[in-house]
Each structure stands twice: as C-alpha cells, then as structure tokens.
Amino acid sequence: MVLQPTGLRGKGGEPGAWLRSLRFWPHSKLWCARAHPRPALTEFLRGPLRLTPPHPPALLPKRFPASLLVSFLLVGQVCGGEPPDTFLRIGLLSHVRSVRVSATGPYHVLELSTGEQYPFPEAEELTVRTTSYGLLVGNQVLKPALRFQGEADDTVLLLNGKRYRDSLLLQWQRAQGITVINEVEIDGYLCGVLPREASVNWPIEALKAQAVVSRSFALANLGKEEAAGFDLTADFTSQVYGGVDGEHPKTIQAVNATVDEVLVDRRGKLVNAYFHHSCGGRTDASTMVWGGNSWESPPSLSGVRCRFCRDDEYYHWTVRLSEKVIRTRLRSAGYTVGAIRRLSLVGRTRGGRANQIEVVAQGKAVLIPAHRFRMAVSPNQIRSTFITRLSRRGSDFEFEGRGWGHGVGLCQVGAKTMALKGYSYRKILAFYYPGSRVQRWHR
Ligand SMILES: [Zn+2]
C-alpha cells in the first residue's frame, strides 16, 4: 500500500503527518483509516487523500468507515464520496461497580473532561472501580468519562475477558455505577451480530439478507437507548451482539458483500427492518402486532403470505403451562390477577395473530395485549401470538400456535429456504418487505 497524500497539511510536518495507520481486517477486507492525534485531525485534514494499492483493483476497499472522533473526507480512486458517520454506541454493561480492561497491544486511557491521556503496555490489565470521586484506575482516581483505545488500529480491547473492536467508553454516575459502551464502526458491529442473530450454516444469500436487515434495523433505531447513554443494547431488545468473540468468517463475508447497503421504502425512507425466527405461514403488519396511532402499517411492514417456513420445527407448536405459573408471571409483570378461571383469545390481526387475551380471574376480567401477555408469561414457551387454540386442561392451560417470534418483517427460516431454492438476497428482501429496495446508505 502506497500512501499519496495530496493537499494534507499538518503542524510543521509533512503532508499526511497526522495519518497514523491504515488497518486492513483480513477476514472482512474492511479498511479503516485512522489519524493521530485524532482530536486534532479534523482541524488539519482538508484536502483529498489518494490511496494507491500496489495490487489488482479487485482488492480495492469499498469504503473507509469514519469515526466519531475523526470524521473526515477521503476522496480518490478508492472512495468515491463522503463516508457516513457509522460508529454506533452499544451498551455492554450497566450498573456495575468494577470492570477489568486490557488489550491485545499497547493502549491508552483518555480522560474526556481534561483531555489527559494515560498510556499502558499491552500486558497490563486494569481494574476500574467506582469511588466517591470518580473511577479508580489502577492506583489513580480519574474523572469519568474514560475512553480506552488501542494505540494500533488492529488492537482489540478486552472487557472482563471478552474482546471488542475500536474503543470502550466507561461512564460513571454515583447512583448508577459504571456503564460500559463499545464505540464500534457499524460493519465491525454487524460482524459481531450476525453469528448471534443468524446461523453460520445458512446459505450466503440468506446471510447477506440478514446483514442488510441488521444494518437497516441498527440505523433505524439509533439513539433508541439514548436515556441510558448509548444507541443500542447488546441483547435481544436491540440485536444480540457478541463482539469479536462471536465473529465467523462466513458472516463477515456477508457483511463485506453488502457494505453500506440498507433497505429503503418507496419514498426512500429507511425501513425499520424487523425480523423473527419463523412466521408460521404469514408475516404480520407491525401496527397490528404492537399497536400504534394508526392501523396502517408502512407498506414494507404490512405482512405477506409465506410458504417457505413450513418445514420449521416451530411451524406448529404446543405448550402446556400451569395456572399457577401463568398467574405468577403475570403478577411479576405488574398484572394483578387472582386464581385464573379462564383464558380466551380476543380479536385477530390481519395475519391471524391474537390481538388480546382475556384473563378471567375471581370474577374479574382483564384484557391484556397478546404480545404483552406472551412476553410476560414466557416468550420462549409461547413462541408467538399466532395462537390457533387455547384450552384448559385440568390445572393447566394448553396453547397451540404457529411460528416463533413477533412475525413482523423477515421470516428467517423462510429466507434460508428461499436462498436454498436459489433466490438472491435482494429477491428475499423484496419479498418480505414489499415495495422496498436495497440502496447504498448516505446520511
Ligand atoms: Zn415464514
């Protein structure tokens, strides 16, 4: 790789003096340009930067992810436009009193309020604890927030032994303890999501569909957890994210093959691309499942008939739960119900899912939205609200139903079957999100 900076001017240095390194992730063929010192870079990088690879153009990177700290324009033969600001803040831990941080190479801690930077060698593991005045890092009290970052761009950080790309931000509040956030470039994030939300055994076209779906979902939900100080959680309430430890070459290939691609609707609006395990024969309209101000769902989330998940083991399911278990779980979720005499389904969505469940207990009837009932009682036992029969069996209630998950957007089992039948990821997405199209994302 030959760097040919054109028009870069730095303080008393040669053009490009602030460009510290280029990183190439071998698995993903993703590139990342970084600068040093990063906060100063935006002041001095004004001109274009041309990067000339010595080898065939087939290896050219498609894009350069930008950083929250360093968001700058790279133009030239390898990058045709302004890269989007695609770093995400993923909440990894909350309300903890101490954490252990180390790295695979030399790293530093940046005290954000003062700009002070504290270097540490690779082998040094730091224990960070809460105190009355801030965070005790080693034997020194530092003011939060603290950013941990590797000196080299291929350095991976370890949080309590689990590996994460890019940087870790530690925030602290007296009443809440430490919150740890992974500031990670979106494709690095997706590399840690796909193996958890899909299966590496799926055909590549299904994984590519999932990559576009997960990217669209993440971008459509940026800031969803802003009250907690980050964009998205690392669990199922957003998307399950396993960091570097969860990555797999095949899912990295799917991310890399779809870099920057998102789903947009007919008006060019980003689709909030929900997905679920299997639909049981029909996906459903988002507002029919979760309610909303209107009964009209966006057309891309309006539901389709699906004939591709019939072989799924959860296409039909049955579960028996005791009255006591249901009552206890409903109470834990805040529903004050006595001994349950009857449960019945009230209303159906267009896709055939239960709208509400009536709980009759000690002469009192309570109507609970079906998806809330399911989440309260057990989403992994009552696998969907596509409940086809609900009956009493002695002291138990028996639920029969179809599919697993909320039923909105992509049916993952259906996507896998479509890929096995030869459909491309674009065809799969067009089927499950009617009227949508794949487009390169620009902020
Ligand atoms: Zn399906």
**Are 71 and 24 within one domain?**
yes
Transcribe 257-294 into DSSP letters. HTTTEEEE-TTSPBP---EESB-TTB-B-HHHHH--S-
Answer yes or no: is pLDDT of 44 > 60: no
**Are 268 and 416 within one domain?**
yes
Q: Nearest CA to 269 among 431, 441, 424? A: 441
pLDDT of residue 287: 77
What is the Å distance from ligand 1's center to 322 Cα? Answer: 29
The amino acid sitting at 9 is R
What is the Å distance from ligand 1's center to 279 Cα? Answer: 4
For residue 288, being part of any structural domain is answered with no
Classify strands 232-233 and 87-96 as parallel, antiparallel or unpaired.
parallel
For residue 136, give both structure tokens: 């005790």
Answer yes or no: is pLDDT of 59 > 90: no
Rounded CA-CA distance 12/51 in Å is 23
**Are 248 and 175 within one domain?**
no
For residue 304, being part of any structural domain is answered with no
- Tens of pLDDT, residue by residue over 123-174, are 789 999 998 888 999 888 998 889 999 999 889 999 999 999 999 999 998 7
For residue 360, being part of any structural domain is answered with yes
**Are 179 and 195 within one domain?**
no
What is the Å distance from ligand 1's center to 411 Cα? Answer: 5
What is the Å distance from ligand 1's center to 316 Cα? Answer: 12
Counting Cβ atoms within 10 Å, is residue 388 exposed (0-12), middle (13-18) or buried (19+)? middle
**Are 1 and 52 within one domain?**
yes
Q: What is the CA radius of gyration of the chain?
A: 25
Tell me the pLDDT band of 110, cut-offs 50, 70 and 90. Answer: very high
Rounded CA-CA distance 51/63 in Å is 12
What is the Å distance from ligand 1's center to 305 Cα? Answer: 8
What is the Å distance from ligand 1's center to 341 Cα? Answer: 34
**Are 330 and 248 within one domain?**
no
Q: Which residues make Cβ contacts (< 8 Å) with residue 379, sequence separation at least 6?
A: none
**Are 218 and 273 within one domain?**
yes
What is the Å distance from ligand 1's center to 417 Cα? Answer: 9
What is the Å distance from ligand 1's center to 327 Cα? Answer: 31
- Tens of pLDDT, residue by residue over 199-225, are 999 999 999 999 999 999 999 999 889
pLDDT of residue 123: 74
Neighbouring residues of the ion ligand 1, judged by CB less than 5 Å:
279, 306, 309, 411, 414
How many whole angstroms from its chain centre is CA 44? 33
What is the Å distance from ligand 1's center to 315 Cα? Answer: 8
pTM of full prediction above 0.85? no
- Tens of pLDDT, residue by residue over 258-298, are 999 999 999 999 999 999 999 999 999 887 777 754 456 78
What is the Å distance from ligand 1's center to 214 Cα? Answer: 18
**Are 416 and 326 within one domain?**
no
pLDDT of residue 85: 53
What is the Å distance from ligand 1's center to 403 Cα? Answer: 7
Tell me the pLDDT band of 122, cut-offs 50, 70 and 90. Answer: confident
**Are 174 and 254 within one domain?**
no
What is the Å distance from ligand 1's center to 280 Cα? Answer: 5
Which neighbouring-strand residues pair with 149? 108, 167
Tell me the pLDDT band of 352, cut-offs 50, 70 and 90. Answer: very high
**Are 101 and 72 within one domain?**
no
What is the Å distance from ligand 1's center to 396 Cα? Answer: 29
**Are 96 and 158 within one domain?**
yes
What is the Å distance from ligand 1's center to 381 Cα? Answer: 19
Answer yes or no: is pLDDT of 328 > 60: yes
Answer yes or no: is pLDDT of 440 > 70: yes
Average pLDDT, the chain: 81
For residue 255, being part of any structural domain is answered with yes
Query: Could you give the number of structural domains in the chain?
Result: 4
Rounded CA-CA distance 296/268 in Å is 18
**Are 348 and 362 within one domain?**
yes
For residue 333, being part of any structural domain is answered with yes
What is the Å distance from ligand 1's center to 304 Cα? Answer: 9
What is the Å distance from ligand 1's center to 307 Cα? Answer: 6
Rounded CA-CA distance 428/124 in Å is 48
Q: Nearest CA to 353 among 326, 332, 382, 333? A: 382
Answer yes or no: is pLDDT of 68 > 70: no
What is the Å distance from ligand 1's center to 404 Cα? Answer: 9
What is the Å distance from ligand 1's center to 210 Cα? Answer: 15
Host domain of residue 97: 87-186
For residue 296, being part of any structural domain is answered with no
